[in-house]
Structure 1
Amino acid sequence: MGRQVRRVPADWQHPRSAAGRYIPMRKADDALARATDERMPAWPAEACTHWQLYEITSAGTPLSPACASARELAEWLAAHYVEAAPGFTGTPEQWLRMIESGRETSTVAMKGKSFVSPLDPP
């Protein structure tokens, strides 16, 4: 379950198919993306003021809305029980550590700490 935080413009709306499903989009520097048309737009860095979590293992589709700050995204992810791994979510602080690390995550371990909160939505 790979996750990647991407910087996007405030008004970014990830494209959807006619059926309403997200169209997979990989990062522009991804080798597979270069061979296909499935790549994120190459915005100037100053235009990317928001943060959005993407699933990257199979598709490259958003898991969250675009948020105005890393903290806002972390709080949204925790409040909506977004899984960091099957059956595990994280606290806002755990998500924030992952977001601020700037790295993709494909395991539950983040900076020596693990997500240990089992998914338990209300």
Structure 2
Amino acid sequence: MRQVRRVPSDWKHPRDGVGRYIPLEESAPDEPSPDPVSHMPAWPTEARTHWQLYEVTTEGTPVSPPCASARELAKWLADNRIEVGGFTGTEKQWRAAIERGGLIPVLMMKGKSFVNPLDD
């Protein structure tokens, strides 16, 4: 599954010694981070100005760079043909999924897959 997370504009997801992203769970805004080793910082809501897509089924690592808007993230995902379970959405499809929020799982129907936002 994928999840859009709100991050500060200068957020750089940490990497390990060989350059791989370190998996991190999301922290709630305006609350202390439960465990700084396994969670992202708990930035205040007003500092979370950018949008970033994360892989959350097994990792908690970024898929995209931080983007200044849902529209910019949707464009980046479409332009880079980011795949979710075999589906690569159009900019319009990605934007609709991002703006609904929550997790973005893939549903299979009649041999076709498509993005279906799932609210938390």
Calculate the TM-score normalised by the size of structure 1.
Answer: 0.80
Whether 1:39 and 2:24 are equivalent positions in the alignment is no
Consecutive unaligned residues of structure 2, counting only runs of 5 or more, are 116-120
Residue 93 of structure 1 aligns to a residue in which SS?
helix
Q: Which residue of 2 aligns with 1:5?
A: 4
- 1:20-67 deviation digits (Å, cap 9, x = unpaired): 0000001125xxx95783111100000000000000000100000000
Superposed counterparts of 1:57-68, under 5 Å: 57-68=57-68
Q: Which residue of 1 aligns with 2:50?
A: 50
**Contact 2:67 2:73 (8 Å CA) reproduced:** yes
Consecutive unaligned residues of structure 1, counting only runs of 5 or more, are 117-122
Residue 97 of structure 1 aligns to a residue in which SS?
helix
**Contact 2:74 2:92 (8 Å CA) reproduced:** yes
RMSD: 2.0
Superposed displacement of residue 15, structure 1: 0.2
Q: Which residue of 2 aligns with 1:88?
A: 87
Superposed displacement of residue 108, structure 1: 4.1
Q: Take 1:25 and 1:37, find their aligned partners in 2: how far apart are those partners?
A: 8
Q: Take 2:81 and 2:95, find their aligned partners in 1: how far apart are those partners?
A: 14
Calculate the TM-score normalised by the size of structure 2.
Answer: 0.81
| Consecutive aligned runs of 4 or more in structure 1 exceeding 4 Å deviation | 33-36
Alignment: residue pair count: 107
Residue 22 of structure 2 aligns to a residue in which SS?
coil
Q: Which residue of 2 aligns with 1:17?
A: 16
1:53 alignment partner AA: L
